[in-house]
Amino acid sequence: MNSYSALGNWFEYLNRDCDYPAWSQYLIERLALFGAGRRGVDIGCGNGYFTRALCRAGYEVAGIDISPQMLNVATAAARREGLPCEFLLGDITKLKLTGKADFAVAVNDCLNYVPPSKLKTAFARVYACLNRGGVFHFDISSEYKLRRVIADNMFGEDGEDISYMWFNTPEPDGVTMELTFFVRGADGRYDRFDETHRQYAHSEEAVSSALAAAGFARVCVQGHLGTDDKTQRINFTCVK
């Protein structure tokens, strides 16, 4: 699948309504509450917004993503802001660091791209990369969101520089997302790009079980930004 090849250049812009500042502050508060150290990784970092926010908050953070296009944008953004963020190409199911980290975060659906059969492997990889007492915080889009809000629906946006159409087909274990982008070039003409994404639905119980199997403890589960509402997004914070 050519996921995030075209979208990589526009991901942060197209998600501009998600309140990145509040989301970043929530991450910082969770890490502080669980006593995380200062060195960590942002897995599935995308365009690097959360990596940069954590860096500005005084953390030493490396962003990791499976998309070279995403990492190119993230690197350029960090340089513009004068932030010493490192960005690495990597997959959570094959994660391996040169040294141990004090914390790991995986925000905004990273784990929804991991098939159920590889969930325990992904958590085991993160566990192996953390120091003892290391904190792991991540979220998933809920089963309800994928099956009832996303699946069988079409979304789109008509902008001056970019327009897109997003079609979603339900699958037994999640949803297939087909996206078409029309991106305006310097000459005013629009180029078309097509991508296919596959997200998997994980239940809260399955995720908690996989975390326990990997060795994580003190698993705390919340809704988006710490609310009790887990209808569309579920947050997990746990400790090695």
Confidence of residue 10 (pLDDT cuts 50, 70, 90): confident
Q: Is the pLDDT of residue 230 over 50?
A: yes
Please state, in angstroms and rounded to a whole number, the distance separating the CA atoms of residues 91 and 121: 11
On average, the pLDDT of the chain sits at 95
Confidence of residue 2 (pLDDT cuts 50, 70, 90): low
Q: Give me the mean pLDDT over the 126-143 stretch.
A: 98
Q: Give me the mean pLDDT over the 33-53 stretch.
A: 97
Please state, in angstroms and rounded to a whole number, the distance separating the CA atoms of residues 150 and 141: 10
Q: Give me the mean pLDDT over the 57-65 stretch.
A: 97
Q: Is the pLDDT of residue 136 over 50?
A: yes
Please report, as a single letter, which amino acid is at residue 142: S
Reading the block at residue 82, the tokens are: 């004068």
pTM across the whole model? 0.94
Please state, for a pLDDT cut of 70, what percent of the chain lies above it.
98
Q: Give me the mean pLDDT over the 156-167 stretch.
A: 94
Confidence of residue 1 (pLDDT cuts 50, 70, 90): very low
Please state, in angstroms and rounded to a whole number, the distance separating the CA atoms of residues 212 and 53: 29
- CA distances in angstroms from 236 to 80, 141, 158, 217, 233, listed in the order given: 32, 12, 35, 11, 10
DSSP letter assigned to residue 59: -
Q: Is the pLDDT of residue 103 over 80?
A: yes
Please state, in angstroms and rounded to a whole number, the distance separating the CA atoms of residues 216 and 219: 7
Q: Is the pLDDT of residue 76 over 60?
A: yes
